[in-house]
């Protein structure tokens, strides 16, 4: 989407791609924990099946949730969004870490469900903060450059 909109594959695309990649790990591991019996019956070797104690699953959930915080801040540092977004991304990242740690300590389905729901809310809220905070970005041309001819009829 970024490349289609801007015509280039620059740092913004890489930052958004990294956020999406890192976000999916706690999201899908929480889901895999919730449905581990179903996956096992279907013959799928998901991490919560081959890690029945949940130790490795929980370590990865917390690690990737922690990584969302600096990745979210990278968008502000790169000029993609302003400080309102930065604050929102920090708070959302802390919420993901909190839910990940809660699940890691208890390892209950109710906590995996809370983590999964937090991950569902994380992404649209993060992107909403980014869109809402475009007004504070000094160089909006880093997002996309649009050129409109002064006389569209003559340019045909």
Task: Answer yes or no: is 152 within a domain.
Answer: no
Q: What is the pLDDT of residue 98?
A: 99
How many other C-beta atoms lie within 10 A of the C-beta of residue 46?
A: 19
> What are the strands, taking DSSP E only, across 76-121?
none
Q: Phi first, then psi: give them for residue 64, nearest 5 degrees.
A: -70, -35
Q: What is the pLDDT of residue 142?
A: 43
Task: Answer yes or no: is 3 within a domain.
Answer: no
Task: Answer yes or no: is 36 within a domain.
Answer: yes
CB 85 within 8 A of CB 76: yes
pLDDT at 149 over 80: no
Quickly state the pLDDT bin for 150 (edges 50, 70, 90): low
Q: How many independent structural domains does the chain possess?
A: 1
Task: Answer yes or no: is 87 within a domain.
Answer: yes
Task: Answer yes or no: is 132 within a domain.
Answer: yes
Closest to 90 in 3D by CA, of 72, 78, 77: 72
Task: Answer yes or no: is 19 within a domain.
Answer: yes
Residue ranges making up the domain that contains 112: 10-142
pLDDT tens for each residue of 81-124: 999 999 999 999 999 999 999 999 999 999 999 999 999 999 99
Task: Answer yes or no: is 2 within a domain.
Answer: no
CB 49 within 8 A of CB 39: yes
Quickly state the pLDDT bin for 143 (edges 50, 70, 90): very low
Q: What is the pLDDT of residue 145?
A: 45
Task: Answer yes or no: is 118 within a domain.
Answer: yes
| Percentage of residues in the chain having pLDDT higher than 90 | 75
* For residues 22-26, average pLDDT: 99
More confident residue, 7 or 140: 7
Report for 2-6, 96-100, 127-131: range of highest mean pLDDT: 96-100
CA distance 93 to 97: 6
pLDDT at 72 over 80: yes
Q: Which helix (H) or strand (E) holds 156?
A: none
Q: What is the CATH number of the domain that holds 77?
A: 1.20.120
């Amino acid at each position: 989407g970024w490349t289609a909109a801007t015509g280039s594959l620059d740092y913004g695309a890489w930052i958004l791609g990294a956020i999406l990649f890192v976000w999916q790990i706690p999201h899908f591991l929480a889901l895999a924990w919730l449905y581990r019996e179903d996956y096992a019956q279907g013959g799928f070797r998901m991490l919560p099946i081959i890690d029945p104690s949940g130790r490795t699953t929980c370590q990865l959930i917390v690690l990737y949730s922690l990584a969302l915080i600096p990745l979210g801040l990278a968008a502000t540092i790169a000029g993609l969004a302003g400080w309102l977004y930065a604050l929102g991304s920090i708070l959302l990242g802390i919420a993901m870490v909190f839910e990940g740690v809660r699940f890691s300590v208890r390892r209950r389905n109710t906590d995996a469900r809370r983590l999964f729901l937090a991950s569902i809310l994380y992404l649209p809220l993060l992107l909403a903060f980014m869109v809402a905070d475009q007004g504070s970005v000094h160089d909006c041309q880093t997002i996309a450059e649009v050129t409109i001819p002064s006389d569209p009829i003559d340019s045909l």
